[in-house]
Structure formats: C-alpha cells, structure tokens
Amino acid sequence: MSVELTPARMRRLFDHLGATAVKRSEQTLVALADLVVNQARINASSGRHPYGTPTPARPGSGPAIISQTLVNSIVRTKVRVTGAAGQEILVGIAPNRYPVYNGRVHKVASSRYGLALETTVGGRRGLYPFLGPAARFVVTIPAVHVYRRILGAGDWLRL
C-alpha cells in the first residue's frame, strides 16, 4: 500500500523526526555523562590512606581516597539547551563540598583539591588525573555502544 506524502503528512513526519531527535540526543548525553561520572569515580579511587599519611597512588594514576568527599563530589548537570539546536551537559566536581578529617571540616573544597590533582599547578602537570582520563575512555568504545543503543533504536519514520 502506497502512502501519499502530502504537505500535511510531511510536516507531521518532520515534526516527529525533530522531537525524536531532541529526546534521543538528551538521552544520549545523559548516558555518556553518567559513564564519565562513573569512570571518574573509579579513577579517583586509587587506593586509600588516612589523612596526613603518604598516598599509595602513583603519579599519573588517579588519587587515593582519604575521606571519600572528592569521589562523591563528581557529578553531572542536567541537559541544558544552548542556542537554537544545541544541548550540553557538564561533568565535574560539585562546589562547596568540604571533607571532614579527624572530626574537623577541612578548609579546602573538594572542587579546588580536585582541580589541583587534575590540572597544571605551579608549573607542574596534574599528578593524579581522574576526570580527563575518564572522559577520554568513554568517548572511545563505550560512546559507540551508547550511540547505537539510543540513536540507532526504533523506527524514526513511523507516524
């Protein structure tokens, strides 16, 4: 049975395609961001040690856990519309979260501490990166599976 592609039918088809694309794009961004968050939390868990003792983590690996605050601070935002057709989601360290050592709240927020671990500080490269390596890992093989699962799913042309 042939279907006549009238202007009204074409409009419904394109409206449907547009709405489906936006919804699936948002689902894809959330899935990818969640993968980055999870991998960054794994990367930021390179051993464990008490406050004031040497870290068991090796330079180039993620940091070791002292209070779990840094790991728990790794979060993502909600999807946000940017411009006419863009969307973004951010992954990073939530601000204003302070670790507690020996019953006292530490004065350096986990976001500041994480930045120092991850990036160049005082002319030196970040010694214990965890977030960048997580993002680089996710955009390889896991991203392909997420795209295929969400964007390649279903019949986009059914009305």
pLDDT digits (tens, 9 = 90+) for 14-30: 888 778 778 888 999 99
* C-alpha to C-alpha distance for 43 and 37, rounded to whole angstroms: 10
Q: Does 159 have pLDDT greater than 50?
A: no
Report the predicted TM-score, pTM, of the whole model to 2 decimal places.
Answer: 0.83
SS3 state of residue 101:
strand
- Does residue 155 register a pLDDT over 60? no
pLDDT tens-digit series, residues 24-72? 889 999 999 999 999 999 999 999 999 999 989 888 888 999 999 999 9
Given a contact cutoff of 8 angstroms between Cβ atoms, the answer to whether 66 and 53 are in contact is no
Structural domain spans, the chain: 23-150
Q: What is the pLDDT of residue 8?
A: 87
Does residue 125 surpass a pLDDT of 70?
Answer: no
Strands 86-88 and 80-82: antiparallel
